[in-house]
Amino acid sequence: MNPLRIGIIGDFDPNYPLHPATNESIRHCVNHTSIQLEIEWLATELEHDLSRFHGLWCSPGSPYHSLAGALHMITWARVNRIPFLGTCGGSQHAILEFARNVMNIQDAQHSEYDPYASILFVSRLTCSVVGKVLPIELMAGSLAASIYGKSIVEEHYYCNFGLNPEYQSALVSAGMKISGRDDRQEARIFELPDHPFFLATLFVPQARSTEQNPHPIVRSFVSQSLRRAGSVPPITASPRALFPTPSTTS
């Protein structure tokens, strides 16, 4: 059986807690199974053979060494319909990639890289959410709602940046679904309905994952990556724990 290969877009820093936590949250999903797992961090300033991976996760930890490198790998996942998860900074860059390459706003920028850019598609949040656990309302019928199986959840944040509200309507009109919003209706979860699995969260699900309770978003991402790999091996743990139903939108 071929191993499940997950590529993590980002510049690994062992001293940044969310980076080891990202690795561990993936392992939480397969530790009690016979699945062989390979996790590889994909430094943004280097070229990589992305065709080797069954799923790509864009990690927290921006600004990345290479903005262009990070966006290229997100484009690969979107265009080639590879299961994709972006969390915190990864979510912000998924939004930026969509703005540039789907909405054709070539000057769209992230204020973490250039706070004086003319089109700040990703801007500093009105109120910092770093270290906070806050409620999110999920859109009925969305991938996010199907993963959680509920309409309101609470999640942990580490970021200061998000979608500039000025561009929210244009983003939705171009095909990006906002499937989770906070109590002020600001966007917190994004997904592409016409993609097998493309989910981006402003929060960090890996921070709340444990071996006993893998986070449902990470679990669903791993499930879809396994389907991409074309292998669903025998599972010694509860099948429901690894393969939530439903796991895709209709």
pLDDT tens track for 211-241: 999 999 999 999 999 999 984 443 333 333 3
pTM for this predicted structure: 0.89
In a domain, 250, yes or no: no
pLDDT tens track for 177-203: 999 998 888 899 999 999 999 999 999
Q: What value does the mean pLDDT of the chain take?
A: 89
In a domain, 248, yes or no: no
- Spatial separation of the C-alpha atoms in residues 109 and 239, rounded to whole Å: 42
Task: Report residue 38 CA to chain centroid gap.
Answer: 18
Query: What does DSSP assign to residue 138?
Result: E
Lowest-pLDDT range, 80-89, 136-145, 155-164, 227-236?
227-236
Q: 248 falls in which pLDDT band (50, 70, 90)?
A: very low
**pLDDT higher than threshold 80 for residue 131:** no
- Taking CB atoms within 8 Å and a gap of at least 24, the contacts of 118-121 are 120/164, 121/95, 121/96, 121/163, 121/164, 121/167
In a domain, 249, yes or no: no
Beta-carbon neighbour count of residue 166 at 10 Å? 11
Which CATH number characterizes residue 93's domain? Answer: 3.40.50.880
In a domain, 69, yes or no: yes
In a domain, 166, yes or no: yes
Query: What does DSSP assign to residue 160?
Result: S
Mean pLDDT calculated for residue range 141-148: 96
Measure Cα distances from 69 to 82, 93, 120, 152 in Å: 17, 11, 19, 35
Residue type, 202: L
| Owner of token pair 């864009």 | 58
In a domain, 216, yes or no: yes
Counting the structural domains of the chain, the total is 1
Exposure string for 143-162, b = 16+ CB within 10 A, e = fewer: bbbbbbeeeebebbbbbebb
Rounded to 5, what percent of the chain is helix, strand, coil? Answer: 30, 25, 45
Helix H or strand E segment including 144: helix 143-148
135: cis peptide before it, omega within 30°?
no
Measure Cα distances from 241 to 13, 39, 118 in Å: 30, 20, 46
| Owner of token pair 């244009």 | 170
* Domain housing 21: 4-242
Q: Are strands 4-9 and 37-42 parallel, antiparallel or unpaired?
A: parallel
In a domain, 152, yes or no: yes
The 3 state secondary structure assigned to 216-248 is HHHHHHHHHHHHHHCCCCCCCCCHHHHCCCCCC
Give the 3-state secondary structure of residue 177.
strand
Task: Report residue 14 CA to chain centroid gap.
Answer: 20
